[in-house]
Structure 1
Amino acid sequence: MSDSYSVLPLTPEVRTWLSSEGIVPPAIDGKPITLQELKGIVASLPGIFAKWGNGPEFLDGAVSSVSGMNTSIIVGNPGSDSEPCEFHFRGGESMLIETVVGGIAQLAGPQVIYAHSGGFTKVIHGATSK
């Protein structure tokens, strides 16, 4: 995957958008996560490692797995570790991205991955996805 993929918590507004796209979302809302939570989730996933950079406007994480998969997480305007953060994935393997978002969904409820190109949208909730 060379596309960029945003992640959004499932909210009433996102549910309306998904429904208009023919995707039946779950009735449960998700919530945004903080940078601290994002880093903790990635660190807790078995066989997955991240090296976090430090930039004034963007923070990035090079994420890899023991099986050789990789992706980058780009956090826009990271603010403090305790504030909700917006982030997206740049490139990498979809299986790794879905694994990370699955970890997020276990903590924060259903999350939606969508390709900036418009070619891919998927709801991830916990250990399962639809």
Structure 2
Amino acid sequence: MGVSYNAFPAEMCNDPKGRLWLWECEGIKIPEDIGPSRNPTSDEILLVLGQFTEYIINQFQGREQWDIEIIEKAHPQAYAQAILWITHEVRGEPIMADQPCDLYFYRGEPHLMVRIVQSIAAICGPFILFCHSGGAILIMPERTIAGPNW
């Protein structure tokens, strides 16, 4: 069974309640100068994944969800190192190239997920990568701040 992860803009936690939750539950203190952030478009996701030339990128796109398998080229018969689920920010709407998308990892190698989200953060601003079984990490273009459960 895989562990799922949610990647979302850090701006969603950049208020007193969000900051308190991250600090008390995850041990992460958001820097005061965090700056704005937003969800990426599907075009931006493809731009980022195009930089990962050591991986095979398999896409399966439906009307409302887009699944991407990321497989290491050196071991193409192995399981996917990450499976990225992408949905439109507005549920029930088709995925459009220029519209913001929500990101989820069905499973993945933590180091690869961090690399992917860090590349997205370079375009969209800081992100939180949250593991549904516990643990979170603040990912900024230039550094990461991991909680104790990460």
> TM above 0.5, one fold?
yes
The alignment status of 1:7 with 2:7, answered yes or no, reads yes
Describe the superposition over 1:11-36 as per-residue Cα deviations: whole angstroms up to 9, x where unpaired.
Answer: 12444532343311133232211111
The alignment status of 1:95 with 2:102, answered yes or no, reads no
Distance 1:48 1:113, change over 3 A: same
**Following the alignment from structure 2 to structure 1, what is the Cα–Cα distance between the partners of residues 121 and 96?**
21
Give the structure-2-normalised TM-score.
0.75
**Residues 106, 125 of structure 1: 8 Å contact kept:** yes
The alignment status of 1:76 with 2:87, answered yes or no, reads yes
1:81 CA drift (Å): 0.9
Describe the superposition over 1:106-130 as per-residue Cα deviations: whole angstroms up to 9, x where unpaired.
Answer: 111111000122x120011114211
Match of 1:25 in 2: 30
**Residues 113, 124 of structure 1: 8 Å contact kept:** yes
The alignment status of 1:123 with 2:138, answered yes or no, reads yes
Pairing 1:107-118 to 2, within 5 Å after superposition: 107-117=123-133
Match of 1:43 in 2: 50
**Following the alignment from structure 1 to structure 2, what is the Cα–Cα distance between the partners of residues 84 and 44?**
20
**Residues 129, 139 of structure 2: 8 Å contact kept:** yes
- Structure 1 vs Structure 2 CA RMSD: 2.1
Give the structure-1-normalised TM-score.
0.86
5+ residue gaps, structure 2, are: 89-93, 146-150
1:103 CA drift (Å): 0.6
5+ residue gaps, structure 1, are: none
Describe the superposition over 1:42-100 as per-residue Cα deviations: whole angstroms up to 9, x where unpaired.
Answer: 11234233111111221100012345561100112452110100120011211111110
Q: Find the structure with the greater CA-based Rg.
A: 2
**Following the alignment from structure 2 to structure 1, what is the Cα–Cα distance between the partners of residues 65 and 98?**
16
**Following the alignment from structure 2 to structure 1, what is the Cα–Cα distance between the partners of residues 72 and 116?**
11
**Following the alignment from structure 1 to structure 2, what is the Cα–Cα distance between the partners of residues 25 and 32?**
18
